Structures are given as structure tokens and as C-alpha cells.
């Protein structure tokens, strides 16, 4: 920022406009230095009533300057400081406000203010008895701070707006909040979202029920239990609400709330995002929409409505004419809903924002775009991941040319065949501020025109091009023309050395960049010049440099970048080669200067133990620390480092003391995954009952072949030093676990009994992993009986635990009680068809299932019809894994018939079954509707050439396919042409396995050449165990001679 120019403008204002009452400096980059300069120039002004410096990257160093301005203007009535990082500097600001008595609005949102400010803030409130609005969103006041502030707020009665959103408030502060509301009877806007108030919401709602003044109620994401539903309904029916936000409260009864909404007539905003709804709820919601004729804002992202239910809701929206904001993303909307959607748009011509991403509109987009031409005020359009066909893309280009669109989201649509017309349309406008083109199969042929399009939109603030394999040089050069760019994501594209130098030049002159994502680009020697440009930026909040082959040579530049960016909140450096020296330099910079750092990821950096571990304890702001993939000596020294700051208090440090000190940090997510050794007493792990996530030795891996998975499991068995009984006995100390991972933890029958007892104390558990403990029948029974008492489970993994079909009834009871279950893993048990039939009765009652894994369970065709019914009722299923069972063609056909509703299906695994060529046509037809399919695994079946050919004919039209395995299917070279077309249309392919078949040398060579020419992202190609000659192997190796990062098995 040019401070001199700003100061001249201020002096001009002071000279021409005395007395000055309002000073608005929002959305600049004043920082601490700018504020201090302003405070000096304003020293002679005493008439200010409104002072606003929102979003100016101000840190605590500016507190004295702000305090000076406040003290000079005792008549100040409104102060806006949100979206800065004043932190403890708020003490001085708030103390200065005690000299005022006329303050009506105090805005301290998003300032990382902690509990230490609470006492001073409480005193300030007492000195300003006419306070009407208090905004404290996204700070860290916690329940303790809220209780202190509440004592003062309870003494005034003028409050109209109260915003405590995202402050880590628990049920402990509920009585204090109700006391505030009891004394402030004319409250209009109440924001309590993103806390952990849970059942305490009921008491708060009971306090405000019946108040005519209440207009806004927001308790999103508070884990509210079912009992809160009735209180919410009572508030809806008895207040004149205008805005209701209750998203992400999974246990609330949406039917009860939807019925209540039909009694409301004043609502302008309804936010039910991320809520599982179905059946009669759609009819009630449609009636509610009809009764609220002034509705402007409707948010229904990621619901579970089926297509006919969505159409019912859309028909009710056709009766409105006031709608400005509509979010229906993530609802599997089909083309048949397009006509009704078009009618909604025709009747609501003032639509400003339309979000339809992650649906399956396909050709239906064409009709919607025709209607959008009648909406001249549309500013935001999201059509990402909709499998948009060519003719619809042409219409989209026409719409863009004639619009004044500001935000356009087209990610995960295949633009390769129509990219010319889309980019030409983008070149013709100049209003874009946000453009998302992630994963659009953009090629080198369009990159220059894309550069022109980017440059013509000189107000562009956010550009995302992740997962496109074009040469970046053409695009990076044009970024120099953008002075407003705040977010740039170029992960996993082909950044050459020339492009890196261009990008370095861009970054060197950019003073607005806040989020920069450069990961997954192997820059090698070019990385030095690119990283050396980063210290010129001073506004970074997120920085991702993962998997870039960075070495210790760039450590000094990284450290300078950290020093120059005091607002840095997230830093990703995983998968590099920083080594000890480089990592030590970076972490010491984080310790001394990164006071706002919440997340640090330094996994897999070829690091050995060193003194830098002693510095981690001093990064007090961390919420998440990722250290996976580090050697034994690192983990031992890590805890020593964490305890080092209190070494003088512990004359005899032992393992228990070290771990206790480590856990006393504010790390809410302790990740001990893949650590080589863990010998500490488990009691100390669980003695800190604020922890909400505990992970041990998890076998998370990215391998797709059984050999690799087996190796991973064996390694974890070998390295795990955990005693399951000790862990289980320690668990009852904890009361609020939401995630527990005890994979491969040697849990015997006694440990299972103790674990079951411990789980009874953790009724809010959402994620439980118990894979590979080989529980006895009695042990499994103990745990299942305990899980039956819960209702909050969303992820459950009981794989490889010898659970037999005799326990299927108990397992079914667990499923019925946990009706929000999203992931169920039961691989490697002994359920057989008899057990699956029993489970299916419960699974059919769910509508939330996203992952179902029943591999290696001896399931036959006898259970196929029941499984088909389960799949049909869970139309949001993303992963269906049924490998290593005993399905024949008849059973596969029965299951495949249910695929026509699986529009989100991402992964399908039927390896090691007995699928024949007779079932291939039906199976191929079934997956033709699965437009999101990314992984198809059919190895070790009986498809033969004709069967595989039928499936490949369908896969030609899938543009998102990334993994295909057809090994051991008795396939010949006749399918080469079809397979080549599949490879041409799927540039994101990274695994192709077609080994163990009957391919000749020439056929294998053609496949290899197609991979080289069309699939630069390929990581693994398996052609082994075919009829390939020695000469053929040599020719294939020559094809890939200059191809890096590709593993080929011939």
C-alpha cells in the first residue's frame, strides 16, 4: 500500500469535511503500520462517531494506534474491527472504550481474541449501557470468557444483536447466555453457530420463545440432539422469524421442523444445508415455501431428497417471485428436474446467486441456461461436477457473453471438446472475480486464450486451475496484469521452469495474495526461484507447498516468508526433502513469528531428530500438527521437545511426564498414525478429557493392490507396541470423544469388555475404527451391545474381527439406532449370505450411507436381492466394495439393477468374484448412469474379451475415470481400440491394471503408447503376465524412457 497517498487523502478529507463523523477504511491493506500513521494524522479530530477498519490485516501491534483514535473521540458510537488479528491487542482497544459511554455497536469478529480479554470487555460493556450490537464471531473466548462477559451483558437491556458464533462455547455457558437473553427482551438477531451447545440449545430457545422481536436465529453446527427439535418448532411457530439457520445438526427431526415452517409467514431465509431429509419432509417444506411469499434465500445443499421430492420443492418455488439465493448443490438432481428448475428461474428474475454443483443435470443444463438469460442480475453461478454435454456448454458460452457474472464455478466438467468457446466467452467479459476450472481436462491448445481471458478480468480475486495437465507458462505470464488476486490454486498442473519464473515475477509484485496453493508440482531446480519470490508477499493466510521436492536450500526463503506474513494460519510442507537443517529453520521461524498458525503439516520430509523439536511447544496457536511418516527417534524426541519448556519443574523427566506435558497443549487432534513405536502408559493419553480425537497406528494407505495392503498391515502389526487392555481400561476417563481409532491394537476379550464399558461414557462418538483386532465372539458382543446405546455414529469399521453371522442381529440393531451412519466397513468377517440378509433389513432403513464395504465375507447370490434393495434406498452411495466374495452372473445382475439411482458412485470394486461375459451387458448398462465413477475394479473375474469390450464401450463416455483394473480376466488384444478411446477421454487416469491376460506384444505396445500420449497423470501401469515377448518388453520400456513418476510392470 502507498501510505503517502492514503495520508494525503485523509488530510484532504479533514480539511474539506470538518467536523469528521464517519471514517470508513474497510478492505485495504493498512496493517499495523498504516493504522499507526492514521492515528497520528487523526490526533486533532474529536468528532468521529463511526470508525471502521474491517479486513485490513491489522495485528496486535496496532492496538496503541486504535486506542489513541478511540480516546480522541469520546462520542464514538460505532466501532468496526472485524477480520483482523488484534488478539491480545484487544485489551488496549477495549480499555480505551471504557472512556466512552455512547457506544452502540462493537464489532470484534474474527480477531483471535482469547479469554484474557474477557474481564476488560465486561468492564467496557458496563461503561456503555446503551450497547445495541455486540459482534464476537470467530474468536476463542470459550465458555469461560462468555461467562465473564455475560455478567455485564445481563445488566443492560438494550441489546438487539448478539453474535457468539464459533467461540468454542459448551453447555457450561448455557445459563449465562439465557441470563443475557432474559434481560434483553428485544433481541432481534441471535447467532450461536459453530459451537458445542448441544442440548443446551433447548434452554436458550425456551428463553426466546414467543418474542415478536426475534428476526434471526442461527445455531448451525451445534450437535443439537433430537429433543431440541420441538423447542425449535415452538420458536418458529411463535416468533416472527425472518432468517433461520440450523444446518449441520444431524439429529434434529427435519419432519418436525418442516411442519413448523408451514406455520411461519415472515421468513426470508431458510438454511437447512447438510441436513438429511426425505419422504414427507419434502411435502412439508414445499408447503412452508408456499406460505412464505417473501422468501429470498433457500439453502438445501447436500440433502437426501430424491428427484421427485426435489421437483415437489421446485414446484413450490415456482409460486415465488422474490427468490435471490438458491442452493441445491449435492442433491443428485437429474435432467428431468430441469423444466421445473427453469420455471423457478423464469418466475424469479431477480436471482443473484444460483448453486447447482455436484448434481447430474447433464443435458438439463441447457434448459436452465435458456431461463437464466432472463435473469440479468445473476452474479454467481455454480454448475461444477454436472457432466455437462457439448451442446449445453455452447449455450453456457452464450450466457457468459451476455451476462455480468462475477463468480463462475465449472470444476469437474469435461471442457476438453468445448474449451475454445467457453474461454472465448470468458475473454469477452471483464466482471469475473472468482473462476473455478479445477479438473476440466484443459489442454495446451487453449492455454494462451485462457491467459487472455484471465487478463481481461482485471478484478479477478480467485483463480483455481488444479488438476489440469497443460503447460502453465501461458497462463502464469498473464497473472502480472491482475492486481487484485487473493487466491491462486495451481496444484497438480504442469508448471515448467519457465512458468515458475513467470509465477515468481507475479508473486514478487503481488500485495494482496492470501491463499496460495502450489503443491504437487515437481519443480526441481525451478523451485528455488519460485520460493525466493514468496517473501515479497505479506498477506498470506494459507500456503501449500506439499510434494514439490523442496530441499533445505529454500529454507531461508521459507523462514523469511513466515516472518513477513504474520497472519499465516495454515502451512503445508509435507512430502518434501527439507531435512533436519531446513525444517529446523522453518519451525523456529514459526515459533518466533507465526502467532496465528493453526495448522502445520511437515510429514515425510526425510527428517532426523534435532533441536528444532524443542521449539514446537512454543507454537501455542496450533490446533493441528501433522507428523506422520517420521522415524522412531523423531517421535521419542518430539515428546521431549514438547515438555522442554517446563523442564525446570520436572527434575526427573520420565516417559509419563513427557507425554502428559505434550497432551497439555491445545492440540485438539492428536495424530499418532504410522508412528513406529509408542511405549507410553495409555492412562496419560486419556487423562486430558478435553481431547476429541485420538488416533493410533492407523493403516491409512493409498495402495490399490492387495500385496501393498498386506505389507502395510504386517508392518503395523510388527511396529505396534500398544496394549489393547491398557488403552481400553484408560478410556472411561474421557467423556467427549468424537473419534477413536484403535486399529490393530491387540484388543482381547478382557480389553473388549473394558472398551465396551468405556464407550458407554462417550455417547457422542461419531467415528470408530476397530479393524484387525480379531475379537472373540464374546468380545464382539460386548462392543456391539455398547454401540447399540449410541445414536451419533457416522463411521464404523469392524473389519477383520471374526464377526460371524450369529451376531448379525446385534449388528443390525446398532445400524438401526445410528440412523446417520455414512460409512460401514465389515470386510474380512464371516457374515456369509445369511448374515447379510439380516443386516440388509436395517441398512434399507438408512438413506445416509456413502461407503459400504463387505469384502471377503463369503457372500453368494442368495443375498443379492437384499443388497440391491439396500443400494436402492441409499442413493448417495459413493463407494461400494464387494470384492473377494462368491457372486455369479445372476447375483451381479440383480445388484447392478439398483445402480440407476447411484449418481454419486465414485468407486466400485467387484474383484475376485465370478462375473462372466453373460452379465457384462447388464453390468455395463448399469454403470452408464454412474456419471461420477472414478474407480472400477474388476480383476480376477471371468469377463473374457467380449465382456470387457462391453464395459469399455460404456467407459468411453466417462471423463472422470482414474482407476481401472481388469487383470486376470482372459482378455485378448481385440479390445485395444476400445481401451485406447477410454484412455483418450480420461486424462486423469493414474492406475491401469490389465496384467494376467492374453495380450500380445503389439496390443500391449499400443496401450503403452496411448498412456504416454494421453495420460500424463498415470502413476501405475500393469501389463505383466501377458504374452509379451522380450523384444516387446524392450519396446514398451523405450516408450516410457523420458516419462517420470510412472511405475510400469511388464
DSSP string of 882-908? --SS---HHHHHHHHTTGGG-TT--EE
pLDDT (mean) for 866-892: 91
When mean pLDDT is compared across 719-723, 789-793, 849-853, 973-977, the lowest value belongs to 719-723
When mean pLDDT is compared across 37-51, 259-273, 339-353, 845-859, the lowest value belongs to 37-51
Return the residue matching grid coordinates 453456457: 396
Best mean pLDDT range from 471-475, 523-527, 830-834: 830-834
Helix (H) or strand (E) holding 52: strand 50-52
Q: Convert the pLDDT of each residue in 638-690 to its tens digit.
A: 443 333 332 222 222 233 333 333 333 333 233 333 333 333 333 333 333 33
Q: Which grid cell sits at 375?
A: 435473469
Helix (H, G, I), strand (E, B) or coil at 715: helix
- Pick from 102, 35, 83, 90: nearest CA to 60: 90
Residue 872 has pLDDT above 50, yes or no: yes
What's the pTM value of the predicted model, to 2 decimals? 0.76
Residue 1022 has pLDDT above 70, yes or no: yes
Q: Are residues 265 and 237 in contact, defined by beta-carbon separation less than 8 angstroms?
A: no
Residue 69 has pLDDT above 70, yes or no: yes
User: What is the distance in angstroms between the CA of the first residue and the CA of the last residue of the chain?
Assistant: 59
H runs (alpha helix) in 274-389:
280-291, 307-317, 338-347, 364-372
The number of beta carbons lying within 10 Å of the beta carbon of residue 368 is 25
Burial of 257 (0-12, 13-18, 19+ CB in 10 A): buried
Q: Are residues 903 and 929 in contact, defined by beta-carbon separation less than 8 angstroms?
A: yes
User: What ranges make up the beta strands (E) of 961-1023?
Assistant: 963-965, 991-993, 1020-1022
Return the residue matching grid coordinates 436395517: 842
Q: Convert the pLDDT of each residue in 545-597 to its tens digit.
A: 988 888 888 999 999 999 998 889 899 998 888 887 888 889 889 988 888 88
* pLDDT at residue 193, rounded to an integer: 94
Q: How far apart are CA 878 and CA 850, in angstroms?
A: 5
Q: Are strands 434-436 and 907-909 parallel, antiparallel or unpaired?
A: unpaired
Best mean pLDDT range from 267-276, 440-449, 533-542, 832-841: 832-841
* pLDDT at residue 417, rounded to an integer: 75
Q: Convert the pLDDT of each residue in 168-181 to its tens digit.
A: 899 999 999 999 99
Return the residue matching grid coordinates 495485528: 59
pLDDT (mean) for 57-72: 88
Q: Are residues 599 and 621 in contact, defined by beta-carbon separation less than 8 angstroms?
A: no
pLDDT (mean) for 731-760: 70
* pLDDT at residue 580, rounded to an integer: 79
* pLDDT at residue 607, rounded to an integer: 59
pLDDT (mean) for 364-393: 91
Looking at per-residue pLDDT, the higher value among 737 and 451 belongs to 451
Determine the Cα angle at 661 with ends 657 and 664, to 5°: 140
Looking at per-residue pLDDT, the higher value among 297 and 631 belongs to 297
Q: How far apart are CA 135 and CA 163, in angstroms?
A: 5
Give the CA dihedral 603, 607, 609, 614, nearest 10 degrees.
Answer: -60
Residue 857 has pLDDT above 90, yes or no: yes
* pLDDT at residue 526, rounded to an integer: 67
How high does pLDDT run on average in the chain? 81
* pLDDT at residue 909, rounded to an integer: 94
Q: Are residues 515 and 488 in contact, defined by beta-carbon separation less than 8 angstroms?
A: yes
Beta-carbon-side half-sphere exposure of residue 837 (alpha carbons within 13 Å): 10
* pLDDT at residue 595, rounded to an integer: 82
Q: Are residues 589 and 559 in contact, defined by beta-carbon separation less than 8 angstroms?
A: yes
Residue 733 has pLDDT above 70, yes or no: no
Q: How far apart are CA 706 and CA 53, in angstroms?
A: 58
Q: How far apart are CA 448 and CA 135, in angstroms?
A: 46
pLDDT confidence band for 40 (50 / 70 / 90): confident
* DSSP symbols for 410-461: -TTS--TTTHHHHHHHHHT----SEEE-TTS---GGGHHHHHHHHHH-TT--
Q: Convert the pLDDT of each residue in 795-815 to its tens digit.
A: 999 998 888 899 999 999 999
When mean pLDDT is compared across 98-102, 630-634, 752-756, 802-806, the lowest value belongs to 630-634
Q: Convert the pLDDT of each residue in 246-294 to its tens digit.
A: 988 877 888 899 999 999 999 999 999 887 776 668 899 999 999 998 9
Q: Convert the pLDDT of each residue in 685-730 to its tens digit.
A: 333 333 333 333 333 322 222 222 222 222 222 223 334 444 555 4
pLDDT confidence band for 6 (50 / 70 / 90): low
pLDDT (mean) for 413-418: 80
Query: Which residues make Cβ contacts (< 8 Å) with residue 739, sequence separation at least 6?
Result: 692, 693, 694, 695, 765, 766, 767, 768
pLDDT (mean) for 61-77: 90
Q: How far apart are CA 101 and CA 149, in angstroms?
A: 17
* pLDDT at residue 610, rounded to an integer: 44
Q: Is omega for the bond preceding 206 within 30 degrees of 0, making it cis?
A: no
* pLDDT at residue 613, rounded to an integer: 56
pLDDT (mean) for 601-614: 61
Residue 122 has pLDDT above 60, yes or no: yes
* pLDDT at residue 716, rounded to an integer: 29
Q: Which grid cell sits at 920?
A: 457384462
Give the CA dihedral 271, 277, 282, 287, nearest 10 degrees.
Answer: -40
Q: Which grid cell sits at 648?
A: 525446570
Q: How far apart are CA 541 and CA 417, in angstroms?
A: 36
Q: Convert the pLDDT of each residue in 206-254 to its tens digit.
A: 999 989 999 999 999 888 888 899 999 999 998 889 999 998 887 788 8
* pLDDT at residue 80, rounded to an integer: 95
Q: How far apart are CA 644 and CA 937, in angstroms?
A: 50
Helix (H, G, I), strand (E, B) or coil at 927: helix
Q: How far apart are CA 562 and CA 580, in angstroms?
A: 18
Q: How far apart are CA 249 and CA 376, in angstroms?
A: 36
Helix (H) or strand (E) holding 299: strand 297-299
Q: Are strands 669-672 and 693-696 parallel, antiparallel or unpaired?
A: parallel
Burial of 9 (0-12, 13-18, 19+ CB in 10 A): exposed
Looking at per-residue pLDDT, the higher value among 433 and 249 belongs to 433
Q: Which grid cell sits at 660?
A: 502428559
Q: Are residues 287 and 314 in contact, defined by beta-carbon separation less than 8 angstroms?
A: no
Q: How far apart are CA 541 and CA 57, in angstroms?
A: 10
User: What ranges make up the beta strands (E) of 108-185?
Assistant: 133-135, 161-163
b/e per residue 948-982 (b: at least 16 CB within 10 A): bbbbbbbbbebbbbbbbbbbbbebbbebbebbbbb
* pLDDT at residue 661, rounded to an integer: 36
Amino acid at each position: 500500500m502507498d501510505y503517502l497517498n492514503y495520508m494525503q487523502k485523509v488530510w484532504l478529507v479533514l480539511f474539506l469535511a470538518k467536523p469528521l463523523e464517519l471514517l470508513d477504511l474497510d478492505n485495504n491493506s493498512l496493517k499495523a503500520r498504516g493504522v499507526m500513521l492514521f492515528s497520528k494524522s487523526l490526533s486533532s479530530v474529536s468528532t468521529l462517531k463511526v470508525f471502521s477498519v474491517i479486513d485490513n490485516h491489522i495485528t496486535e501491534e496496532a492496538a496503541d494506534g486504535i486506542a489513541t483514535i478511540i480516546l480522541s473521540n469520546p462520542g464514538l458510537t460505532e466501532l468496526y474491527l472485524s477480520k483482523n488479528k488484534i488478539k491480545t491487542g484487544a485489551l488496549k482497544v477495549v480499555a480505551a472504550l471504557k472512556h466512552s459511554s455512547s457506544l452502540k455497536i462493537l464489532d470484534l469478529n474474527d480477531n483471535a481474541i482469547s479469554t484474557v480479554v474477557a474481564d476488560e470487555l465486561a468492564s467496557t460493556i458496563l461503561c456503555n449501557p446503551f450497547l445495541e450490537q455486540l459482534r464476537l464471531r470467530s474468536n476463542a473466548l470459550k465458555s469461560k470468557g462468555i461467562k465473564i462477559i455475560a455478567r455485564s451483558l445481563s445488566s443492560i437491556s438494550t441489546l438487539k444483536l448478539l453474535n457468539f458464533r464459533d467461540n468454542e462455547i459448551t453447555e457450561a455457558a448455557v445459563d449465562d447466555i439465557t441470563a443475557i437473553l432474559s434481560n434483553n427482551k428485544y433481541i432481534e438477531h441471535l447467532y450461536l453457530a459453530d459451537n458445542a451447545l448441544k442440548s443446551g440449545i433447548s434452554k436458550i430457545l425456551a428463553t426466546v420463545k414467543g418474542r415478536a422481536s426475534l428476526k434471526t436465529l442461527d445455531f448451525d453446527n451445534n450437535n443439537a440432539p433430537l429433543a431440541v427439535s420441538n423447542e425449535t418448532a415452538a420458536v418458529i411457530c411463535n416468533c416472527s422469524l425472518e432468517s433461520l439457520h440450523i444446518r449441520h445438526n444431524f439429529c434434529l427431526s427435519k419432519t418436525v421442523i418442516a411442519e413448523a415452517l408451514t406455520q411461519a409467514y415472515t421468513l426470508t431465509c431458510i438454511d437447512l444445508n447438510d441436513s438429511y431429509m426425505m419422504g414427507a419432509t419434502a411435502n412439508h417444506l414445499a408447503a412452508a415455501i408456499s406460505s412464505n411469499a417473501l422468501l429470498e434465500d433457500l439453502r438445501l445443499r447436500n440433502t437426501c431428497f430424491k428427484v421427485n421430492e426435489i421437483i415437489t420443492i421446485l414446484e413450490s418455488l415456482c409460486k415465488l417471485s422474490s427468490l435471490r439465493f438458491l442452493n441445491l448443490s449435492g442433491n443428485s438432481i437429474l435432467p428431468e428436474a430441469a423444466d421445473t428448475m427453469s420455471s423457478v428461474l423464469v418466475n424469479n428474475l431477480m436471482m443473484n446467486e444460483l448453486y447447482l454443483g455436484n448434481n447430474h443435470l447433464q443435458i438439463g443444463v441447457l434448459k436452465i441456461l435458456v431461463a437464466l438469460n432472463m435473469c440479468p442480475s445473476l452474479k454467481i453461478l455454480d454448475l461444477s461436477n454436472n457432466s455437462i454435454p457439448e451442446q449445453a456448454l455452447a449455450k453456457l458460452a452464450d450466457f457468459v457473453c451476455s451476462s455480468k457474472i462475477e463468480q463462475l464455478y465449472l470444476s469437474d466438467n469435461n471442457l476438453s471438446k468445448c474449451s475454445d468457446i467457453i474461454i472465448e466467452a470468458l475473454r469477452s467479459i471483464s466482471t469475473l472475480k472468482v473462476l473455478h476450472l479445477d479438473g476440466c481436462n484443459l489442454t495446451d491448445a487453449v492455454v494462451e486464450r485462457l491467459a487472455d481471458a484471465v487478463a481481461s478480468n482485471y478484478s479477478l480475486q480467485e483463480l483455481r486451475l488444479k488438476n489440469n495437465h497443460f503447460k502453465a507458462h501461458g497462463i502464469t505470464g498473464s497473472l502480472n496484469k491482475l492486481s487484485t488476486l487473493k487466491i491462486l490454486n495451481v496444484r497438480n498442473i504442469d508448471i515448467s521452469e519457465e512458468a515458475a519464473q513467470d509465477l515468481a515475477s507475479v508473486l514478487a509484485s503481488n500485495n494482496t495474495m492470501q491463499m496460495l496453493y502450489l503443491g504437487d508440482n515437481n519443480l526441481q531446480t525451478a523451485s528455488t526461484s519460485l520460493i525466493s519470490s514468496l517473501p515479497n508477499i505479506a498477506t498470506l493466510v494459507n500456503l501449500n507447498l506439499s510434494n514439490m521436492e523442496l530441499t533445505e536450500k529454500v529454507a531461508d526463503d521459507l523462514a523469511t516468508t513466515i516472518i513477513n506474513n504474520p497472519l499465516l494460519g495454515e502451512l503445508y510442507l509435507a512430502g518434501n526433502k527439507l531435512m533436519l537443517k531446513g525444517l529446523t529453520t522453518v519451525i523456529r521461524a514459526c515459533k518466533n513469528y507465526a502467532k496465528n498458525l493453526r495448522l502445520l503439516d511437515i510429514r515425510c520430509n526425510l527428517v532426523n531428530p534435532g533441536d528444532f523439536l524443542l521449539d514446537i511447544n512454543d507454537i501455542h496457536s496450533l490446533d493441528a500438527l501433522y507428523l506422520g511418516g517420521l522415524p522412531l527417534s523423531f517421535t521419542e524426541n518430539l515428546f521431549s521437545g514438547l515438555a522442554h519448556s517446563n523442564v525446570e519443574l520436572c527434575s526427573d523427566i520420565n516417559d509419563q511426564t513427557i507425554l502428559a506435558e505434550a497432551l497439555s497443549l491445545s492440540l485438539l487432534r492428536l495424530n499418532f498414525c504410522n508412528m513406529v513405536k509408542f511405549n507410553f502408559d495409555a492412562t496419560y493419553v486419556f487423562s486430558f478429557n478435553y481431547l476429541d480425537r485420538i488416533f493410533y497406528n492407523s493403516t491409512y494407505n493409498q495402495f490399490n493392490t492387495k500385496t501393498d495392503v498386506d505389507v502395510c498391515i504386517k508392518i503395523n502389526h510388527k511396529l505396534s507396541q500398544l496394549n489393547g487392555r491398557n488403552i481400553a481400561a484408560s478410556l472411561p476417563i474421557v467423556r467427549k470423544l468424537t473419534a477413536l481409532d484403535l486399529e490393530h491394537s491387540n484388543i482381547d476379550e478382557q480389553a473388549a469388555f473394558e472398551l465396551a464399558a468405556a464407550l458407554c461414557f462417550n455417547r457422542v462418538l461419531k467415528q470408530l475404527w476397530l479393524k484387525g483386532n480379531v475379537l472373540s465372539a464374546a468380545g464382539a458382543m460386548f462392543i456391539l451391545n455398547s454401540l447399540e446405546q449410541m445414536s451419533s455414529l457416522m463411521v464404523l469399521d469392524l473389519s477383520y474381527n471374526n464377526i460371524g453371522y450369529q451376531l448379525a442381529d446385534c449388528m443390525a440393531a446398532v445400524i438401526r439406532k445410528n440412523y446417520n451412519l455414512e460409512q460401514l466397513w465389515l470386510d474380512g468377517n464371516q457374515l456369509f449370505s445369511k448374515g447379510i440378509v439380516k443386516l440388509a433389513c436395517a441398512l434399507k432403513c438408512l438413506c445416509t450411507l456413502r461407503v459400504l464395504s463387505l469384502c471377503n465375507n463369503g457372500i453368494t447370490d442368495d443375498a443379492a436381492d437384499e443388497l440391491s434393495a439396500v443400494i436402492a434406498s441409499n442413493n448417495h452411495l459413493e463407494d461400494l466394495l464387494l470384492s473377494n466374495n462368491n457372486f455369479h452372473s445372476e447375483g451381479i445382475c440383480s445388484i447392478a439393477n439398483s445402480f440407476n439411482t447411484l449418481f454419486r458412485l465414485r468407486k466400485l470394486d467387484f474383484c475376485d468374484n465370478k462375473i462372466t461375459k453373460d452379465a457384462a451387458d447388464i453390468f455395463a448398462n448399469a454403470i452408464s448412469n454412474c456419471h461420477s465413477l472414478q474407480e472400477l475394479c474388476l480383476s480376477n473375474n471371468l469377463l473374457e474379451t467380449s465382456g470387457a469390450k462391453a464395459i469399455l464401450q460404456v467407459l468411453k463416455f466417462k471423463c472422470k475415470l482414474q482407476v481401472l483394473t481388469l487383470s486376470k480376466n482372459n482378455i485378448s488384444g481385440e479390445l485395444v481400440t476400445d481401451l485406447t478411446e477410454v484412455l483418450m477421454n480420461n486424462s486423469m487416469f493414474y492406475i491401469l491394471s490389465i496384467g494376467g491376460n492374453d495380450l500380445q506384444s503389439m496390443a500391449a505396445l499400443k496401450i503403452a503408447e496411448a498412456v504416454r500420449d494421453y495420460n500424463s497423470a498415470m502413476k501405475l501401469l500393469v501389463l505383466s503376465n501377458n504374452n509379451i515377448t522380450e523384444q516387446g518388453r524392450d519396446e514398451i520400456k523405450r516408450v516410457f524412457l523420458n516419462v517420470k513418476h510412472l511405475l510400469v510392470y511388464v
